[in-house]
Amino acid sequence: MRTATADGGPVKSPNRMQQTFGESRAVVTGTVDVPSLMLPYVVETPYPVRLIDLVVNRQVAQTNAYEYYQQVARKNNAAPVPDLGIKPTSVCTLEATRIAAASSPI
């Protein structure tokens, strides 16, 4: 029996399993315990009813006042620009507007 091939590598016997274990079949009988990759329970998440329900970090306001930004001036400098040219800058001015809504108690 040869222990090395012509290039010096080991001889790979097609009957190695039979020589090692005395068998030539590779079928295993019995059961195999495979761990579950998912949690054993599934919790159904209800769909949000309102758009505000999608905001996860919202805080409850203590008053009925709210503030929003309103555009008060705009200078649109949009124009065609040649390749590698400097693009013009548009100017937009915003102003914060605060609204306090008061209502009688229910």
Q: What is the DSSP secondary-structure string of 46-88?
A: PPPSSGGGG-TT----SSSEEEEEEEEEEE-------TTPPPP
Whether 70 and 92 have beta carbons less than 8 Å apart is answered as: no
* The two three-digit tokens of residue 39, written as one number: 């949690």
**Per-domain residue ranges for the chain?**
62-106
Predicted structure pTM score: 0.32
3-class DSSP state of 55: coil
Tens of pLDDT, residue by residue, the chain (106 residues): 445 555 665 655 556 666 666 665 556 677 767 666 666 666 667 787 788 888 878 777 777 778 889 999 999 999 999 999 999 999 999 998 888 776 666 6
CB-facing half-sphere around the CA of 43: CA atoms within 13 A:
2
